[in-house]
Amino acid sequence: MGYRVPRGTHDPVRAGAAMSLPVPPFSTDHHIDLPVDFDDATDDRRRILAEWWCCDHVDGRWFRSVKRLTGIVRFSFENDMDAIQFWLAN
């Protein structure tokens, strides 16, 4: 039987192994918009790094949506602390 941590809790022993994957869209007021030029490899790399950051650092739920016409990638977070940390890191 493996080591299990209840969902939504933080386990410092296995913190490096935990990954927060995106979830289907949900209602939230915590959004960070990241302007991206989809034709520029550097900007696309920045978007991918932002997604990786979310997978590695976000404690709650999160998802991203893309508005191709305006060149905006919106990252939405379950809580304000994750949104603030994302904004500071990116």
Q: How far apart are the C-alpha atoms of 17 and 55, rounded to whole Å?
A: 11
Distance, CA of 22 to CA of 6 (rounded, Å): 18
| pLDDT, tens digit, 9 for 90 and up, residues 55-64 | 999 999 999 9
Question: What pLDDT digit, counting tens, does each position of 11-29 carry?
Answer: 444 444 467 888 888 899 9
pLDDT digits (tens, 9 = 90+) for 28-68: 999 999 999 988 999 889 999 999 999 999 999 999 999 98
Backbone angles phi, psi at 12, to 5 degrees: -65, -25
d(CA 43, CA 74): 14
Contact 87, 32 (CB under 8 A): yes
| Residue for token pair 């989809």 | 38
Residue % of the chain over a pLDDT of 70: 80
> Is pTM beyond 0.85 here?
no
pLDDT at residue 13, as a whole number: 44
